[in-house]
Amino acid sequence: MAETVQFQAEVKELLNLVINSLYTHKEIFLRELISNASDAIDKAKYLSITDKSNNLAGTEWKIKIKPDKDEGTITISDNGIGLSRDEAVKSLGTIAHSGTKEFINAVKSGQIKEQPELIGQFGVGFYSAFMVADKITVISKKVGEEKGVKWESAADGTFTVDDADKENFGTDVTVTLKKDEREFLDEWRIKEIVKKYSDYIEYPITMDVEKEDKDGNKSVEEETLNSMKALWLKDKSEITENEYNEFYKHISHDFTDPLETIHFKAEGTQEFSALLYIPSHAPFDIFYKDFKFGPALYVKKVQIMDHCEELMPPYLRFIKGVVDSSDLPLNVSREILQNNRKVEVIKKNITKKVLETLKKVKENDSEKYDKFIGEFGKILKEGIHYDFSRKEEIAGLLTFHTTKTAANEKIDFDKYLENMKEEQKEIYYICGDSVDEVKNSPYLERFKDKDVEVIFFTDEIDDMIMSTLGEYKGKTLKSVLKGDISLDEEEKKETENREKELKGFLDSIKDHLKGKVKDVKISNRLKDSPACLVVDEDAMDPAMKKLLESMGQEVPSQEKTLEINAEHPVVKQLKEIYETDPNSGTVSDYTDLLYNLSLVVEGEKPENPSDFVKKLSEMMSKSLKS
Ligand SMILES: Nc1ncnc2c1ncn2[C@@H]1O[C@H](COP(=O)(O)OP(=O)(O)OP(=O)(O)O)[C@@H](O)[C@H]1O
């Protein structure tokens, strides 16, 4: 029974964009349809092994391309799993991808026009064929079903579905080409596209080709257009860089070359081959909760699943690739994978190899490594929090700017340790929104003065990550924003003596700021600024607090200490006024001002902005008069 169905609203919008806005890379429609055909055969092949009842064993898996110049159509046929009527309505009428909204936004904002290669990242898939089609007809029969289905659409907001007679299981996708897209009927053009994008498809992609022998006799022969090489099983020495890169593009649907290729075979307790890639840019959805990651899992060349998350720790979720095991059973299920010792061993091996590769790139190609850290450093860092056994190894891979590095230079923890002063006991860091913001922070004044290097961390999660790390090669990590700082013993003693000396003055400030600060101390951080606020060692730092608050989380108020720079002229004069008149209004006014200025330095608002401005203006006018 024929039925007309409306496309889901998102599909309508997507089709509109595909038809009206995408003019480049139209040829990828063929790659997408071949890729769908190959996926469908993967599923049927898997079924042929796990469920004998379908009599699929012995099937010659194949994708066939049939151009028809008279009709102006190109048909891509497969003998894969096929679609039931319900599946056709669902799969070809709605969009399951979480990325579709982002794709629509990217097209609207002009990003796709500037970087058309991004299309590949968005899985427009089947619908990309509407770039070149007036009409698409899908005739399919699902394995195990009696009836076939015919799906048809001219991308006019609706599609039709009807029952159809089809002898064999599988799917025929017929694209009726627009008048000016007839180039896709040319033999050479089809061959070129298949070679370029689909050479590594494991099943033969064939086409009937007219041949002429030397006597001028014409005949039609079925020709296989792709080489079908399981690249990961070949020896490294037999593979060119171009072949590695093309295979990456095929499995990742990315248009840009990968940043790094990792190809190895493991022998011993677990035999497997892995061909892994570090992409050169992060996919737009890598921070989404439902981001699918992990290499495709093959068992003896049979694809078991697209993404095997069990084989990759989430902090390496940017890695793409293929793992082929000789030891896992072909009918391996998700449950088996989750508690499997063999899988654990493979995952451990892969993790080790990836981290080793990153170390090598870091040592040998700083430009490439900077690019990697820029794209994926934030994700890699999660490993410090989640992979206890490797936290120091992962920390060793981080690179960062410091108070001493040049604008284009970054160092790592080992270099920091090397640079450390003899008397220095801790690794100092500061967290903030950007290098520009932190590099002038008053909290660094004393460190700069004493020539002690401080690391700049600018990702929101950094404070939490560094707290988990705790130490690197036996040296404690310390935030310059938190707790007591003493850069040397002598200074520590001096400060203690000063504090005793100024006790009355400090107590009076503390009294005045009762309820706002828990203590008032002499600072070892400041040199040019008069005062700052400091949280306890185990408290959250201001950047983390801001992040949690912006996420709507309630953050308990944190007790702070006001640190005073006893050498600063304002503090010195204030102390003198206090000594002649301990109850002077000037002392309390200036104390309020110092407190509010310290809040500003911390990145907070003054307590009562209008009051603060009023007081400051009054003082300015007074000082101008005198
Ligand atoms: N030749 C085919 N045989 C069987 N099912 C198919 C075929 N082509 C498409 N489908 C079904 O239609 C769905 C939608 O295809 P589409 O190309 O839009 O997305 P996808 O293949 O899931 O994702 P992507 O394109 O990102 O790989 C597929 O997931 C599959 O279920």
Q: Where are the domains of the chain?
A: 3-227, 232-364, 400-480, 499-625
pLDDT digits (tens, 9 = 90+) for 452-465: 999 999 998 898 89
What is the value of pTM for the model shown?
0.69
Ligand 1 mean position, distance from CA 33 (Å)? 8
Residues with CB under 6 A from ligand 1: 32, 36-37, 40, 78, 80-83, 91-92, 123, 125-127, 171
Per the document, the length of the chain is 626
Alpha-carbon torsion 391, 396, 400, 405, what sign? Answer: positive
Q: Which residues of 204-234 are buried (b: 16+ CB within 10 A; e: fewer)?
A: bbbbeeeeeeeeeeeeeeeeebbeeeebbee
Ligand 1 mean position, distance from CA 36 (Å)? 5
Ligand 1 mean position, distance from CA 306 (Å)? 13
Q: Contact, 161 vs 89, CB < 8 A? A: yes
Q: State both tokens at 31.
A: 């790659």
499-625 shares the fold of 3-227:
no
Name the residue of 35, 39, 141 to mutate for ligand 1: max ligand atoms within 8 A of Cβ.
Answer: 39
What is the C-alpha to C-alpha distance for residues 251 and 276, in angstroms, rounded to an integer?
11
Q: Any known ligand binding at 125? A: yes
- ipTM of predicted assembly, 2 dp: 0.97
* Alpha helices (H) in 427-488, listed in sequence order: 435-439, 445-449, 462-469
Residue 608 makes CB contacts below 8 A (sequence gap 6+) with none
- Going by alpha carbons, the residue nearest to atom 6 of ligand 1 is 36
Amino acid letter, residue 464: M
- Going by alpha carbons, the residue nearest to atom 14 of ligand 1 is 91
Instruction: Classify 400-480 by CATH class.
Output: alpha beta
Q: Which residues of 518-553 are buried (b: 16+ CB within 10 A; e: fewer)?
A: eebbbbbbbbebbbbbbbeeebbbbbbbbbeeeeee
Q: Any known ligand binding at 264? A: no
What is the C-alpha to C-alpha distance for residues 301 and 529, in angstroms, rounded to an integer?
67
Of 206, 7, 208, 237, residue with least CA distance to 126: 7
Pick the CATH number of 499-625 from 1.20.120.790, 1.25.40.10, 3.40.190.10, 3.20.10.10: 1.20.120.790
DSSP 557-594: ---EEEEE-TTSHHHHHHHHHHHH-TT-HHHHHHHHHH
Q: Any known ligand binding at 122? A: yes
Ligand 1 mean position, distance from CA 97 (Å)? 11
Range with the poorest average pLDDT among 146-150, 201-205, 281-285, 308-312? 281-285
The confidence band for 227, taking pLDDT boundaries of 50, 70 and 90, is confident
Q: What is the dihedral of CA 413, 416, 422, 425, to 10 degrees?
A: -50
Strands 296-299 and 320-325, bridge-based pairing = parallel
pLDDT digits (tens, 9 = 90+) for 323-348: 999 888 776 777 778 888 889 999 99
Q: Any known ligand binding at 161? A: no
Quick one: pLDDT at residue 99?
58
Q: Which atom of ligand 1 is nearest to the CA of 36?
A: 8
Q: How far is CA 286 from the centre of its chain?
A: 4
Q: Contact, 63 vs 78, CB < 8 A? A: yes
What is the C-alpha to C-alpha distance for residues 367 and 409, in angstroms, rounded to an integer?
10
pLDDT above 60 for 98: no
Let me know if domain 3-227 sits in CATH 3.30.565.10. Answer: yes
Average pLDDT, the chain: 89
pLDDT digits (tens, 9 = 90+) for 11-64: 888 888 777 766 667 888 998 899 899 989 999 998 998 888 888 888 999 999
Of 580, 540, 583, 563, residue with least CA distance to 485: 563
pLDDT digits (tens, 9 = 90+) for 492-544: 888 889 889 899 999 999 999 998 999 999 998 888 889 999 888 888 777 67
Q: Any known ligand binding at 580? A: no
Range with the poorest average pLDDT among 114-123, 396-405, 406-415? 114-123
Q: Is 59 helix (H, G, I), strand (E, B) or coil?
A: coil
Q: How far is CA 167 from the centre of its chain?
A: 45
Tell me which DSSP letter residue 349 carries. H
CA angle 386, 439, 406 (to 5 degrees): 90
Of 390, 388, 409, residue with least CA distance to 400: 409
Q: State both tokens at 173.
A: 């996708």
- Going by alpha carbons, the residue nearest to atom 15 of ligand 1 is 126
Name the residue of 36, 47, 174 to mutate for ligand 1: max ligand atoms within 8 A of Cβ.
Answer: 36
Strands 205-212 and 63-68, bridge-based pairing = parallel
More confident residue, 378 or 283: 378
The average pLDDT across 213-226 equals 92
Long-range pairs for 448-453 at CB < 8 Å and ≥24 separation?
448/403, 448/527, 449/527, 450/487, 451/421, 452/421, 452/424, 452/428, 452/487, 453/402, 453/403, 453/404, 453/416, 453/419, 453/420, 453/428
Q: Any known ligand binding at 189? A: no
Pick the CATH number of 232-364 from 3.40.50.150, 1.20.1200.10, 3.30.230.80, 3.30.565.10: 3.30.230.80
The confidence band for 175, taking pLDDT boundaries of 50, 70 and 90, is very high
Ligand 1 mean position, distance from CA 53 (Å)? 25
Amino acid letter, residue 126: F
Q: Any known ligand binding at 36? A: yes
Q: How far is CA 529 from the centre of its chain?
A: 40
Q: Contact, 383 vs 394, CB < 8 A? A: yes
The confidence band for 77, taking pLDDT boundaries of 50, 70 and 90, is very high
Q: Which atom of ligand 1 is nearest to the CA of 126?
A: 17
pLDDT above 70 for 415: yes
What is the C-alpha to C-alpha distance for residues 214 and 216, in angstroms, rounded to an integer?
5
Of 158, 159, 64, residue with least CA distance to 150: 159
